[in-house]
């Protein structure tokens, strides 16, 4: 099977801006895009949307944050027939977090078109309410492969009218072992359909899947680049793995990032490294594919609300995460894939802010640096490690701590209720309250470390919606 390959470079978009108004989009969609402030297409949107709107199959390769959700989202919404109240689009995502992000973005893009129903069907959530929602019908399903399979097996989901099938983060789905699930789901989707495949990388497995499920796809590749002015890269050579861990601690002590993402190559390494850091007083947590959903949720909450400053993760676990204001990325091991290297370090230095990317390597890994140097990024000279005297200093405490409340959406607890409780009579100052996350049966609120005890007392005294909820401080 042949591919029509289109390469696109980010620099081109600034020289020749592409306007959404040039596309054959529904007027209501264009009006809504304007109200959202979406004036100029990103490279992946500019290259893929014309083909998507023509009904062509498309493979689009681009990094996280490239605007791919709006690319396939606008295509799906533009062809949707709202009057036909049946499932017309299926979007598969590897994780619940990504599925939620995609559904949120779609709802935002669809604001100007009335009566569109979008459902998320993901694992880690009770299946009963999902079955009830499906009985009332939907236009678009966003879900994870395992849960979509569950519904197909139970006969609670029909895909017979699907004419748009989208695989988002396809490479990660394969990394997580979903290939059999994908093949099973495809047996329930009509062959006559439009198929869109979005992926950060394009390994052989993805190529094989594309060959089997797509019809003469247009292939879009947005070249991965980052701005040298916003990301400072540094490389540190160590003798062995023992010195590698010391180097990581030295870098964290020297730069004291408020939020740092440390990349390891295996699940076991993430656990071991996070454990070693905690032993030395660092606020660090591990994120990998073996975590249960509730533990994953808790870990991400603590990192995003600044209660823990270091997240040690594998590439698979970190993909699709919506992490703002990341001060530093540290490659505990250098990846052998130069594209992955770019995705890793591109998580810092966003939105015009400065970022730091440090990579630790041994002599045996020098060939990986040579590949990065030749493929994507000229590498500067290796830097000297910080002075070992830094190991005598204590790690900086995280700015916030977190209170977990045993009540959530099902108990009618809202973020405003929690904020009101904390800042009410004899409460803490509003500026001492950080992010609030509310789940079905629990909630998490970040508070300044010096306000932890009075905040906990306020919630425990029964001032939250006039009820007593169990609450406790969550530590790393």
Cα–Cα distance between 290 and 317 in angstroms, integer?
A: 9
Q: Given a cut of 90, is residue 125 above it in pLDDT?
A: no
| pLDDT at residue 462, rounded to an integer | 66
| pLDDT at residue 428, rounded to an integer | 87
| pLDDT at residue 243, rounded to an integer | 94
Same domain? For 325 and 379 the reply is yes
pTM of the predicted model over 0.75:
no
List pLDDT tens digits, range 449-474. 999 999 998 888 767 877 888 999 98
Residue 182: its H or E element: helix 179-186
* Number of domains the chain contains: 3
Residue 42 — pLDDT band, cuts 50, 70, 90?
confident
Same domain? For 235 and 359 the reply is yes
List pLDDT tens digits, range 281-332. 999 999 988 888 888 889 989 998 889 999 999 887 676 566 666 889 999 9
List pLDDT tens digits, range 196-215. 999 877 777 778 888 888 98
Cα–Cα distance between 91 and 71 in angstroms, integer?
A: 13
List pLDDT tens digits, range 361-374. 988 887 777 777 65
Same domain? For 202 and 246 the reply is no
Same domain? For 236 and 172 the reply is no
| pLDDT at residue 6, rounded to an integer | 46
Same domain? For 416 and 358 the reply is no
Provide the strand spans (E) within 306-365.
310-313, 328-331, 355-361
Q: Is 23 helix (H, G, I), strand (E, B) or coil?
A: coil
- CATH number reported for the structural domain that contains residue 432 in this entry: 3.30.70.330
Same domain? For 107 and 159 the reply is yes
| pLDDT at residue 429, rounded to an integer | 86
Structural domain containing residue 126 = 4-222
Q: Which two tokens stand for residue 374?
A: 């030749």
* CB neighbour list of residue 208: distance below 8 Å, 6 or more residues apart: none
Give CA 164 to chain center in angstroms. 23
Same domain? For 314 and 211 the reply is no
- CATH number reported for the structural domain that contains residue 216 in this entry: 3.40.50.300
Place of tokens 């991965």: 224
| pLDDT at residue 13, rounded to an integer | 34
Cα–Cα distance between 128 and 140 in angstroms, integer?
A: 19
Same domain? For 304 and 349 the reply is yes
Q: Given a cut of 50, is residue 260 above it in pLDDT?
A: yes
Place of tokens 């990094």: 63
Q: Worst-scoring range by mean pLDDT, 61-75, 134-148, 361-375? A: 361-375
Give the domain-ending residue among 392, 413, 447.
392
Give the domain-ending residue among 197, 222, 247.
222
Same domain? For 191 and 242 the reply is no
Q: Given a cut of 70, is residue 73 above it in pLDDT?
A: yes
List pLDDT tens digits, range 74-90. 999 999 999 999 999 99
Give the domain-ending residue among 392, 414, 429.
392
Please report the sign of the dihedral spanned by the C-alpha atoms of residue 30, residue 36, residue 37, residue 40: negative
* Average pLDDT, rounded, for the chain: 85
Same domain? For 414 and 386 the reply is no
| pLDDT at residue 229, rounded to an integer | 56
Same domain? For 64 and 137 the reply is yes
Same domain? For 115 and 239 the reply is no
């Amino acid at each position: 099977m042949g591919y029509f390959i289109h390469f696109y470079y980010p620099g081109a978009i600034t020289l020749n801006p592409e306007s959404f108004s040039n596309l054959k989009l529904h007027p209501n969609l264009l009006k809504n895009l304007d109200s959202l402030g979406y004036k100029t297409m990103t490279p992946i949107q500019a290259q893929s949307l014309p083909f998507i709107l023509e009904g062509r199959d498309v493979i689009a390769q681009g990094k996280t944050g490239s605007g791919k959700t709006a690319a396939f989202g606008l295509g799906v919404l533009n062809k949707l027939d709202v009057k036909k109240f049946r499932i017309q689009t299926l979007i598969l995502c590897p994780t619940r977090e990504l599925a939620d992000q995609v559904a949120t973005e779609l709802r935002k893009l669809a604001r100007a078109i009335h009566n569109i129903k979008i459902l998320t069907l993901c694992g880690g959530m009770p299946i009963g309410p999902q079955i009830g929602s499906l009985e009332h019908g939907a236009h678009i399903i966003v879900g994870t492969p395992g849960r979509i399979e569950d519904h197909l097996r139970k006969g609670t989901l029909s895909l017979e009218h699907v004419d748009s099938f989208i695989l988002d983060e396809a490479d990660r789905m394969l990394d997580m072992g979903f290939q059999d699930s994908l093949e099973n789901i495809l047996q329930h989707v009509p062959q006559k359909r439009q198929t869109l495949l979005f992926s950060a990388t394009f390994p052989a497995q993805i190529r094989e899947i594309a060959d089997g499920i797509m019809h003469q796809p247009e292939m879009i590749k947005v070249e991965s680049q980052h701005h040298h002015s916003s990301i400072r890269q540094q490389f540190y050579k160590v003798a062995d793995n023992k010195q590698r861990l010391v180097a990581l601690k030295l870098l964290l002590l020297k730069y004291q990032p408020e939020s740092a993402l440390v990349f390891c190559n295996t699940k076991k390494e993430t656990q071991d490294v996070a454990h070693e850091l905690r032993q030395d007083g660092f606020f660090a947590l591990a994120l990998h594919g073996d975590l249960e959903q509730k533990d994953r949720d808790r870990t991400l909450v603590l990192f995003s609300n600044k209660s823990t400053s270091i997240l040690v993760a594998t590439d698979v676990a970190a993909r699709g995460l919506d992490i703002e204001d990341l001060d530093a990325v540290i490659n505990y091991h250098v990846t052998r894939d130069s594209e992955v290297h770019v995705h890793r370090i591109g998580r810092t230095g966003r939105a015009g802010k400065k970022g730091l990317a440090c990579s630790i390597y041994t002599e045996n890994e020098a060939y990986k640096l040579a590949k990065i140097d030749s493929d994507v990024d000229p590498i500067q000279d290796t830097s000297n490690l910080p002075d070992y005297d830094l190991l005598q200093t204590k790690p900086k405490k995280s700015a916030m701590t977190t209170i977990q409340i045993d009540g959530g959406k099902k108990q009618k607890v809202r973020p405003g209720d929690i904020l009101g409780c904390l800042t009410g009579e004899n409460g803490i100052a509003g500026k001492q309250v950080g992010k609030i996350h509310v789940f079905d049966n629990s909630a998490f609120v970040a508070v300044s470390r010096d306000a932890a005890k009075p905040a906990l007392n306020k919630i425990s005294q029964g001032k939250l919606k006039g009820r007593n909820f169990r609450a406790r401080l969550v530590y790393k």
